Structure formats: structure tokens, C-alpha cells
Amino acid sequence: MSDTLSLALKILEIVWINLLLSGDNAVLIALACRGLPQESRRLGVLLGALFGVLLRVGFTLIVGQLLVIPLVKILGALMLIAIATKLPNQKMDHSEIEAKPDLVSAVTAIVVADAVMSLDNVVAIAAAAHGSLPLIIFGLALSAPIVMLGAGALVKIFDRLPILVFPGSGILGFAAGELAASDPFLARFGELPPHLDILAGAAGCVLVLTLATLWKVMTRNGAPGLRSGTQTSHQPHGPFSRGAAED
């Protein structure tokens, strides 16, 4: 695979992961800004998304530095597998997000909540970028306008076409496999097999898609162990709650 094609695939992977995991952030922006005057609402969305991207870049760089510690990549891979497995089956509840009356309070609420909610984005992007600062910044910058301009539309698309979430989960699983295969701890066992990262990525992708599908089937059939983790309201199934986005 040429270097140009490999770079393009990594950028697309980062963009897709960020868009997929930014659905709840998009709803958060829309809800926090819905109480602003019409002339301030667009600026609130712009500033909230911009500061959110800057936070994510900073956090991702910090996580990227931690990934050189043995076993941290394996732990991060396990976390990504859990996130990717749950993603197609979860529904976001943003009913606690209040509309803010002024621009400063709206942007502050967005930044604080975004910092708390962005752990999955940070770990996934750090894994996909393999610690490359240009890739992290370019991938986040490329996807930021879509989040800013389509805060509500992005959520509705994933809600009405939940099948789109499964490829995203597969990409996360692939990133998790690659991440685990590059952990420095594995070097203690001698020379690693060739193309281990690709093989581990493929295994992670298959594992995530299998677990996510089983979870969806068991949840749909009313498995008691899984039903407790879902909402009991009569909202349509999907990765995001449509009612919050349309508020």
C-alpha cells in the first residue's frame, strides 16, 4: 500500500470516528444553545464546537504520550472494544441539559460537558492517528465544520439510518486491534509476526461486529441482563435519541 493511500485511509478513519462519536456532543451543542437569541445561536454553536475540538486535540496529545507506557495500549484497546460494542445499541439521554440564556453560559456548559464526555473520542483518535500530531489536528479540523453546521442533522442521520453505526464500530474495533498489537509490552516475547497489526485489527473488527450484533439481538429479544442498561421509554431504537435532537 502506497504512503499516500495509507495516509488518506488514516485521515478518513479519524474523520469517521470523530463524526460517529460526536453525535452526543452535537446534541449537547444544540440543546445548550437553543435558548439563545437567534442572532447569538450560530456564534454559540461555533464557539462551543471550536473549543471542544481544541480540548480534544490537547487531550489526544496527552493520551498519545501515555501510550508509550507498556500495557496502556492494551488497556486502551479493551476500552475501545467496549465502546464500539455498545455504540450501535445505545441511546443518548440529554434531558438534563438546560437551555442557557446567554452566550457565555452556553459556551461554558458545552466546554465543561464536552471535556467530560470526550474520553471515547480521545482514545479512539489517538489510536487511529498512532500519535501523529498532524493527523490528529487535520482529522479533527476536517470533521469540525460538519459537527458545527450539522449539530441536529448529524444525530438524525445516525438515528434514522442506524446501520451506518456498524461500519463505525468495525473501524473502532480495527483501531483497537492495531493499538493492542503495537503495545511495547509485546516486544518482551521476542520478534512479533509480520503484519500483526493488520491481523489484530481484522480480529478486533470481527470481534466488535459480532458482539454488537449479539447484543442487539439479545436486547431486542428482551434479555434481562441487557435490558437494565437501556431506557424504558418508547423512543425508537438507535444510537442517539431523536427527541433530544429535535427539541
pLDDT value of residue 152: 57
Of 140, 105, 109, 145, residue with least CA distance to 126: 140
Looking up cell 458545527, which residue turns up? 148
pTM exceeding the 0.85 threshold for the entire prediction: no
How far apart, in whole angstroms, are the C-alpha atoms of residue 121 and residue 126?
A: 8
How far apart, in whole angstroms, are the C-alpha atoms of residue 81 and residue 170?
A: 9
Residue-wise pLDDT for 99-129, tens only, equals 677 788 888 877 777 777 777 778 888 888 8
Residue-wise pLDDT for 54-65, tens only, equals 887 888 888 878
- Domain ranges for the chain: 3-245
Average pLDDT over residues 140-168: 70
Of 4, 10, 33, residue with least CA distance to 140: 10
Please indicate whether residue 1 or residue 235 has the higher confidence score (pLDDT): 1
pLDDT value of residue 71: 92
pLDDT value of residue 75: 92
Apex CA 196: angle with CA 190 and CA 197, to 5°?
A: 125
Please indicate whether residue 179 or residue 125 has the higher confidence score (pLDDT): 179
How far apart, in whole angstroms, are the C-alpha atoms of residue 209 and residue 145?
A: 29
Categorize the per-residue pLDDT at 202 as very low, low, confident or very high, splitting at 50, 70 and 90.
very high
pLDDT value of residue 23: 64
> Is 60 exceeded by the pLDDT of residue 130?
yes
The alpha-carbon radius of gyration of the chain (Å, integer) is 19
Of 207, 210, 214, residue with least CA distance to 175: 207
